[in-house]
Amino acid sequence: MADDSVSKDVRKASASGAPKKKSALSELFAPVAGFGVSFSTMFRKVATEEYPEKPRPTAPRFHGRHQLNRHPDGLEKCVGCELCAWACPADAILVEGADNDDTPGGAGRFSPGERYGRVYQINYLRCIFCGLCIEACPTRALTMTNFYELADNDRGKLIFTKDQLLAPLQEGMLPPPFPMADGMEERDYYQGKVTAATDSQRTYVDARDASEDAEAHAAAHDSDASGNVGAALPGEHDVVHATHPTAAATREGANP
């Protein structure tokens, strides 16, 4: 009963529409009351970030763009198994494996063991950076870096290819293809028995480069002789995605 009488009083008061009386003090400060918010904000810690001049460091295990890692001699860790592509919920990865071929005149060896990733692409228009692909990778070939500046106004440039995703060559590494280190098997690479490229691997790569240079010069000479001066040298028309940093630029801070 007491509650009913109170609610009746409240209804009467609101029905009357009588304005509440303000104190003289509140009326005095009313014109400048809005500045209170500004003044209180002036003494708070500044949260503004000066991006892109001073990018904020990410958390150590931030999920940024991917990287395809190498063994200490430069051979690729990816064995083209496609497990990362099957694990991806966004269907963002394309892998095509191929056989390593050590035989004379063959395509060469890019990774220890049987196969390597001949084609590798990640579509960053689809990727949601969940990290399931790196969990699925059996060789720790695929990891994620702390790099996150992945915007572009060209959709084609957001499909990263293998040359963009491969880790840069570090001290003691050589560019594949070349044979495995002397006397070593695939398992030895994963047991950490290979720590750098050997002399015989270095000799092989030097001979390979010299032979490729000679072939390129011979081809250029032939095209000059036939009057086809506009023929492109190998690599001259390769597509370069200049808007993205190289893997070398994003190597820093890569999650192991």
Q: Please identify which residue in 130, 150, 184, 196 interacts with ligand SF4, judged by CB under 6 A.
A: 130
- Write each residue from 141 to 160 as x if it is in contact with ligand SF4 (CB under 6 A), else as -, in one continuous string: xx------------------
Nearest residue (CB) to ligand SF4, 92 versus 180: 92
Is 95 near ligand SF4 (CB under 6 A)? yes
The rounded distance, in Å, linking the Cα atoms of 121 and 124 is 9
The torsion angles phi and psi of 149, rounded to 5 degrees, stand at -85, 80
Count the residues in the chain: 256
Nearest residue (CB) to ligand SF4, 93 versus 198: 93
| Residue 68, CB-side half-sphere exposure with 13 Å CA sphere | 27
Task: Determine whether the annotation assigns residue 133 to a binding site.
Answer: yes
Among candidates 76, 73, 256, which has minimal Cα distance to 162? 76
Angstrom CA distances, 5 to 1, 8, 16, 155, 245, stand at 7, 5, 17, 69, 75
Max Cα-Cα span within the chain = 112
- Per-residue tokens: 59: 């958390």
CB 164 within 8 A of CB 121: no
The rounded distance, in Å, linking the Cα atoms of 122 and 94 is 7
Type of residue numbered 189: Y
Nearest residue (CB) to ligand SF4, 79 versus 198: 79
Task: Determine whether the annotation assigns residue 84 to a binding site.
Answer: yes
Q: Please identify which residue in 131, 148, 184, 255 interacts with ligand SF4, judged by CB under 6 A.
A: 131
Q: Which of residues 41-80 bind ligand SF4 (CB under 6 A)?
A: 78-80
The rounded distance, in Å, linking the Cα atoms of 122 and 243 is 17
- Write each residue from 103 to 122 as x if it is in contact with ligand SF4 (CB under 6 A), else as -, in one continuous string: --------------x----x
Minimum distance, C-beta of residue 188 to ligand SF4, in the bound complex (Å): 18
Q: Which stretch binds ligand SF4 (CB under 6 A): 16-24, 49-57, 86-94, 185-193?
A: 86-94
Task: Determine whether the annotation assigns residue 24 to a binding site.
Answer: no
Q: Which residues are annotated as a binding site?
A: 78, 81, 84, 88, 127, 130, 133, 137
Task: Give the binding site for ligand SF4 (CB under 6 A).
Answer: 78-84, 87-88, 90, 92-93, 95, 117, 122, 127-133, 136-137, 139, 141-142
